[in-house]
């Protein structure tokens, strides 16, 4: 069963996750190589956003990634993706905690922190049309129905312009205070494509509408954490370990505003493939469950 406790010496320190079929073959091939012959791709920095609403019940916006995608095809995931070098642009209009504060939270330098936070906001705008920005440090834009916003998203996707240029063009500031850091996962070394991903969360801005227009998604929409986990148990939904752990955490939220206001310790977690008696799983340190 996905996410069952590890067995054997030191079991309490680890948690085991079932391996989706799409990653089984190359995971086993990697394990069967002598350790000295194993290679690992350098993980690419990325950011993903758990977009949340709670009227009346807590729901999270998720995508089912297109089956043909090179990474996590067919998986249920949150909006997100790799950083763009231009995300580090100091010209991004900024409100809320500054880059130095985010660097302390993220455990990075200021330039890297600026890049990760901007990437998170850019990706959620690109993929579902939600913009975490306002005309002042205490407002959020609430009407994105004009065709100009669709064109701005297209321009970001084809790299015609940068996120900083979009914000500057519309006299907006990035509301970094709306984002809450909740997780940090690194793709296992056995994967040919690897990411060093920060998981952030944000409340859905009032007046805006999240859509399903992303070309990377077969479908997208709002779901309760309980429904996602039930879908996983029934085999309808495939979740990688980081997504599963994040959804489980969402399922335990009592008060969304209190939860978003927390500043938990967020250590980096990198699962490792383990095979025993013909069974393959991913093993991750147990502390990821205790935030």
**So what's the pLDDT on residue 252?**
96
In tens, the pLDDT along 158-216 reads 999 999 999 999 999 999 999 999 999 999 999 988 999 999 999 999 999 999 876 66
Question: 69 pLDDT band (50/70/90 cuts)?
Answer: very low
Torsion of CA 7, 238, 253, 55, to 10 degrees: -170
The span from the CA of 152 to the CA of 42, in Å, is: 31
With contact defined as beta carbons under 8 Å apart, do 5 and 281 qualify? Answer: no
In this model, does residue 52 exceed pLDDT 60? yes
- What lies within 8 Å, CB to CB, of 175 at 6+ separation is 95, 96, 132, 133, 134, 137, 140
The phi and psi torsions of 245 (rounded to 5 degrees) equal -65, -40
| H helices present in 143-224, as ranges | 147-157, 163-169
The span from the CA of 14 to the CA of 3, in Å, is: 10
Torsion of CA 65, 66, 71, 75, to 10 degrees: 40
**So what's the pLDDT on residue 217?**
61
Question: 1 pLDDT band (50/70/90 cuts)?
Answer: very low
**So what's the pLDDT on residue 72?**
53
The phi and psi torsions of 125 (rounded to 5 degrees) equal -75, -45
**Rounded mean pLDDT of 244-255?**
96
Closest CA to 251 of 220, 284, 229, 221: 229
User: Mean pLDDT of all residues in the chain?
Assistant: 90
Q: Which residue has the higher pLDDT, 61 or 66?
A: 61
**So what's the pLDDT on residue 208?**
96
With contact defined as beta carbons under 8 Å apart, do 40 and 194 qualify? Answer: yes
């Amino acid at each position: 069963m996905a996410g069952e406790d590890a067995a054997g010496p030191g079991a309490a320190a680890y948690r085991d996750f079932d391996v989706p079929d799409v990653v089984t073959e190359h995971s086993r091939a990697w394990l069967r190589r002598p350790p000295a012959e194993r290679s690992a791709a350098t993980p690419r920095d990325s950011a993903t956003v758990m977009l949340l609403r709670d009227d009346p019940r807590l729901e999270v916006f998720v995508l089912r990634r297109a089956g043909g995608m090179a990474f996590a095809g067919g998986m249920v995931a949150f909006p997100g993706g790799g950083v763009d070098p231009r995300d580090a642009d100091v010209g991004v209009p900024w409100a809320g905690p500054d880059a130095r504060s985010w660097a302390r939270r993220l455990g990075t330098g200021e330039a890297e922190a600026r890049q990760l936070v901007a990437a998170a906001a850019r990706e959620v705008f690109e993929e579902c049309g939600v913009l975490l920005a306002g005309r002042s440090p205490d407002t959020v834009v609430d009407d994105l129905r004009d065709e100009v916003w669709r064109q701005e998203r297209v321009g970001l996707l084809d790299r015609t312009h940068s996120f900083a240029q979009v914000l500057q063009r519309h006299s907006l500031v990035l509301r970094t205070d709306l984002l809450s850091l909740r997780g940090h996962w690194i793709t296992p070394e056995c994967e040919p494509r690897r990411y060093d991903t920060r998981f952030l969360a944000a409340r859905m801005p009032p007046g805006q509408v999240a859509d399903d227009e992303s070309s990377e998604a077969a479908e997208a929409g709002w779901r309760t954490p309980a429904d996602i986990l039930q879908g996983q148990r029934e085999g309808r939904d495939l979740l990688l370990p980081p997504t599963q752990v994040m959804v489980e955490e969402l399922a335990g939220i009592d008060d969304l505003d209190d939860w978003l206001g927390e500043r938990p310790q967020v250590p980096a977690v990198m699962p490792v493939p383990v095979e025993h008696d013909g069974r393959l799983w991913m093993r991750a340190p147990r502390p990821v469950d205790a935030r």
